[in-house]
Amino acid sequence: MRAYWQLTLAQLRIFGRNRQVLFFTLLFPIILMLALGSFIGGGNTGTINIGMTDASNNESSSKLMDVFLSNEGISTEIFDTVEKGKEAVEKGDIQLLMEIPKGYKVEEGTSTRIPVYYNEKI
């Protein structure tokens, strides 16, 4: 076991003496990551375009809509009717449509189904 450690230590010493190996092993990947990250990165560019209709018009539905409107990764458009929203989905203006149904409430222990429409062809 002692011979193994001596061999490992000798290899590390050889590795540390060669400056080119140190540069391309340790510094070059970091420099490459920083360069590509600054040129290509540009932050979070992935957004989803959704539409929402609110048939309930109560406090619970307003809170739900505020969650989607305040999210930076989601571009939300409000539609007056479900039909107008479905047309926008078919045209490709939005990726999906959420319909908040009449009587939508958030109560502990209950659940409400929210219809979501999307275009399967896209």
Model confidence at 45: pLDDT above 80: no
| End-to-end CA separation in angstroms for the chain | 62
Model confidence at 7: pLDDT above 60: yes
What pLDDT, on the 0 to 100 scale, is given for residue 44?
Answer: 55
**Dist CA 119 CA 94 (whole Å):** 9
Residues 52-73, mean pLDDT to the nearest whole number: 90
**Band of the pLDDT at 88, cuts 50, 70, 90?**
very high
What pLDDT, on the 0 to 100 scale, is given for residue 97?
Answer: 95
Q: How crowded is residue 42: how many other Cβ atoms within 10 Å of its Cβ?
A: 8
Q: What is the DSSP string of 98-119?
A: EEE-TT----TT------EEE-
Reduced to 3 states (helix: H, G, I; strand: E, B; else coil), residue 69 is helix
pLDDT in tens, 13-43: 888 888 888 888 888 888 888 888 877 766 6
